[in-house]
Structure 1
Amino acid sequence: MNILDDIINNLKANKTILYPTDTVWGLGCDATNESAVKKIYQLKNREESKSLIILVDSIEMLQNHVENIPKKALEILKKAEKPTTIIYNNPKGLAANTIASDNTIAIRIPKDEFCIQLIKEFGKPIISTSANVSGDPTPKSFSEISEAILKNVDYVVNLHQEKVAEKSSTILKIEGDDVIVIRE
């Protein structure tokens, strides 16, 4: 059994994972399963009213989970050099506790090979939130992840633990023709 099989088996069992994303180390789970998502909020000691980022493997998967992808978003996704998360209106097919109170969801298509392969083989979107307790600094490397997270996550992916991330993704919201930068 390879490492992807282990991770996917954990995701299918509604467990939480700690994994290297295209940006910082992330906490993840099946983004369509409410009880798995609840575990992420508990791990982070975070209010469920603060929504989470979701990773999908392609525009096709994005279309399955967003009512309408603005043309502007597609342009941005094609040109983006660095990891870019976009906030979309009217999400569908995701756990209710992933959706913000204004009926939006933040989704990114990573360019990282491992993440793409994982999502593709799992066949569903995966939560991607920084591996820290709410209020604590975002860890830039595996070695900075707190004991509280390491002890309580269900599965730690043993890959790229030497990786150091410069920063989290850019977050954009599109309203009509306007692109609003939420996080640079």
Structure 2
Amino acid sequence: MKTKIINYKDVNAIEIIVNNLRNDEVAIIPCDTIYGIVARVPQGQKKLEKMKGRPEGKPFLQLATLEMIKSELLAQLDTAIADCWPGPLTVILPTKHNGAIAYRVPADPFLMEILIALGQPMYSTSVNSSGKAALNMFEHIVSEFKTKVPLIVEGILPENSLPSTIIDATQYPYKLIRQGAMDVGALLRDSTS
């Protein structure tokens, strides 16, 4: 596979990424705090599972705008959590059929432009094979994935970036799954009182 490498500042970057995703391909792009492998929901799930060597059916988090998250899911959140969006917070929400979906509403304007142009949520996962450490240096990503994905987008990420914080809102009090870029200590304390 020949990989196209572009910079997020390229004039046609958004169009190239969206066309790639609409063709049911995956891409590696800068995602707020770390690089991520993204794909269209639900079409890209199988490709992501295969590429990462991840067990079938283990869900990926979804990047979305607030408008894309179904209103019944948003109604389940307390306003303190909803007020953290957009930002580096992933929230696992229950679905109607005893399942769960992890959502993050990104603060990054570049990511929001992609989501708006695509018109639907995207799966996002760390840049690694399942069980290996996530890659976050562009040179390492290109070296490891240049023949595995059709598109890699170079961007600027904050130094010493952390992934998003993940909380499980399928239960009450909420449970911290992963401490990341956002401190949610006050939110978790409030959910226990």
TM-score (normalised: structure 2): 0.77
Is 2:76 the counterpart of 1:70? yes
What is the rounded CA distance, in whole Å, between the counterparts of 2:76 and 2:160 in structure 1? 29
Q: Give the stretch that moved more between structures: 42-51 or 128-137.
A: 42-51
Question: Which consecutive unaligned segments of at least 5 residues does structure 1 have?
Answer: 93-101
Q: 1:92-146 CA deviation, whole Å, 9 max, x = no partner?
A: 9xxxxxxxxx511111000011101110111010111001111111123222327
How big is the shift at 1:48?
A: 1.9
- Alpha-carbon shift at residue 3 of structure 1 (Å): 1.1
The answer to whether the 8 Å contact 1:88/1:173 transfers is yes
Q: Is the 8 A contact 2:64 2:105 kept in 1?
A: yes
SS in 1 for 2:161: coil
| Bigger mean CA offset, 110-119 vs 164-173 | 164-173
Other structure's SS at 1:26 match: strand
The whole-number CA distance in structure 2 between the counterparts of 1:175 and 1:16 is: 29
Give the 4+ runs in structure 1 shifted more than 6 A. Answer: none
- 2:102 is aligned with 1:106: yes
Name the amino acid aligned to 2:68: M
Larger of the two Rg values belongs to structure: 2
1 CA distance for matches of 2:17 and 2:99?
30
Q: Deviations over 1:119-175 (max 9, x none)?
A: 011101011100111111112322232744332112112433x76452111111114
Q: How far, CA to CA, are the matches of 1:168 and 1:159 in structure 2? A: 16
Say whether residues 1:6 and 2:16 are aligned partners: yes
Deviation at 1:45, TM superposition (A): 1.3
Q: Please, which of 34, 41, 48 is the counterpart of residue 31 of structure 1?
A: 41
* Equivalent in the alignment of 2:168: 173
Distance 2:176 2:99 in 1: 19
- Is the 8 Å Cα contact of residues 68 and 90 (structure 1) preserved in structure 2? no
Matches within 5 A, 1:45-124: 45-57=53-65, 59-63=66-70, 67=73, 69-72=75-78, 74-79=79-84, 83-90=88-95, 103-124=99-120
What TM-score comes out, normalization by structure 1 length?
0.81
Which stretch of structure 1 is more off in the superposition, 171-180 or 119-128? 171-180
Task: Give the structure 1 partner of residue 177 of structure 2.
Answer: 182
Q: Which amino acid aligns with 1:70?
A: Q
Q: Which runs of 5+ in 2 are unaligned?
A: 1-10, 180-193
State the distance in 2 between where 1:128 and 1:47 align.
Answer: 16
Q: Distance in 2 between matches of 1:131 and 1:166?
A: 14
Q: Specify whether residues 24 and 114 from structure 1 end up closer, same or farther in structure 2 by C-alpha distance, changes over 3 A only.
A: same
CA distance in 2, matches of 1:53, 1:159: 21
| Cα distance in structure 1, aligned partners of 2:96 and 2:13 | 31
State the partner residue of 2:185.
none
SS of corresponding position for 2:102: strand
SS in 2 for 1:38: helix
